[in-house]
Amino acid sequence: MLSRKDRLLLSIEQFPLNILYRAAIGYGLLPLYLWSLALINLPDTTGMLVLFVAGVLVALRLVPGVLRRLLPASRELKAAWAHRRELAQACDSFQWRKLLGLGLGWLAHLGITHSSRVDALTLAIAFVLAGAAGQLFWMRLNRSHLPEMTP
| Residue 60 belongs to domain spanning | 4-149
Answer yes or no: is pLDDT of 149 > 50: no
Q: Give the up-direction half-sphere exposure of residue 139: CA atoms within 13 A in the CB hemisphere.
A: 13
Condensed to tens digits (0 to 9), the pLDDT of residues 133-144 reads 887 887 777 666
Q: How far is CA 95 from CA 45, 70, 73, 85, 98, in A?
A: 26, 22, 23, 10, 6
Answer yes or no: is pLDDT of 7 > 60: yes
State the pLDDT confidence band at 34, using cuts at 50, 70 and 90. very high
Mean pLDDT, residues 4-14: 80
The type of residue at 9 is L
Which residue would you say has higher pLDDT here, 65 or 43? 43
CA dihedral 149, 71, 135, 59 (to 10 degrees): -160
pTM for the model stands at 0.78
- If one counts the domains in the chain, the total is 1
**119 with 47: CB under 8 angstroms?**
no
Cα–Cα–Cα angle for 16, 19, 22, rounded to 5 degrees: 150
Condensed to tens digits (0 to 9), the pLDDT of residues 11-30 reads 877 778 888 999 999 999 99
